[in-house]
Structure 1
Amino acid sequence: MNLSGSKQYTAIVFLQNLLLLFDICVNSFASFARNQSIELLSLYVIQDFCLILALTLLLVNFFATYIFQAGLIQLLYVRFRLTLILCVVYIILSISLHIWHMSIHWYQPLIHYWTKSFHSLYSIQRTVAVMYYYFYKRASLRIGDPRFYEGSSWMEQQLNLT
């Protein structure tokens, strides 16, 4: 990877970490905005947009690799399968939780009414969030490995194994 590619990669990793930090903050502090339904809805929409943007940035990093451009998508998929699955599952869980939360608390935002199923979804979403943060950050750092950006003996070994 050349110097300009390195600067671009650094900027993308910084943006990815910023999106992760925003998601952590929304998950942690959104309850403070619950008395203002419109503000909470706006916050949730921005959070969901940022999650989709984070997945898009990760995919852009994949598309920029030599392995992807050479048509060896399977090598990337094998190495980053869990991260991609967790990203999609986390986005689905977050959107589901946000829709459900807003439908319960839209007209009476200060009433604390959580059903067992809502509490279960909340707990699952927060648990998956922790795994998502770890695997997403690991993938965003691992995709910067120079082996992914040039033809090498490592790639030939991986092809011989499959």
Structure 2
Amino acid sequence: MPLSVRRYRVNLCVQFGFLLVDFLINSFGKFAPQGGVVLLVIYILQVVCLIFSVIVLVLSFFSTYAFQAGLTGRLYQRFGPTLCVSACYLLLTVGLDVWLLSACWDAPHAFCWPAGLLPLFVAHRLVSVLHYYMYKRSSLVIADPSLYQDFDW
């Protein structure tokens, strides 16, 4: 089933919307009111957006001819690194959020930066840039007409 322009546009807008929410939470999450419950809700929203973004990407794989013909190995070669980076980024995000919330829950209005958080924070930010790049690239590459046509692979 060929990917129509309208369907692709909706799919792309949803995927970029999830990326935008994640980017905004990463950028401005520290400026949120420092109440524990508020940060908990913001971090839950971030993790839910990450999970839904991976689900939407995988669902777009299901509509390709390559997947329907059973050529999942070819799709994995092409998009496997994106899924691996997305999984690593999700784990880093959950780890960072849990650590920040558990350390700062009792004193929500005080500055809280536990010792040892810096390496996790830096790794999270570096992997986030890689995740944004690879996810955006995969979202655009999935529109390749060769994935929706029957021809010699």
- Specify if TM > 0.5: yes
- Alignment pair present for 1:105 and 2:109: no
AA aligned opposite 1:133: Y
Structure 1 equivalent of residue 29 of structure 2: 30
Show the 5 A alignment for 1:3-82: 5-82=4-81
For residues 124 and 110 of structure 2, the distance between their equivalents in structure 1, rounded to whole angstroms, comes to 22
Shift of 1:111: 2.8
Q: Deviations over 1:58-102 (max 9, x none)?
A: 000111100000000000000111101000000010011111110
Structure 2 equivalent of residue 120 of structure 1: 119
Structure 1 equivalent of residue 83 of structure 2: 84
Shift of 1:34: 4.5
User: What residue ranges of structure 1 are gaps of 5+ in the alignment?
Assistant: 156-162
Shift of 1:128: 0.2
AA aligned opposite 1:59: V
Q: Which runs of 4+ in 1 moved over 4 A?
A: none
- Alignment pair present for 1:146 and 2:145: yes
SS state of the match for residue 91, structure 1? helix
Structure 2 equivalent of residue 129 of structure 1: 128
User: What residue ranges of structure 2 are gaps of 5+ in the alignment?
Assistant: none
**Higher-helix-fraction structure:** 1
SS state of the match for residue 108, structure 1? coil
User: How many residues align structurally?
Assistant: 153
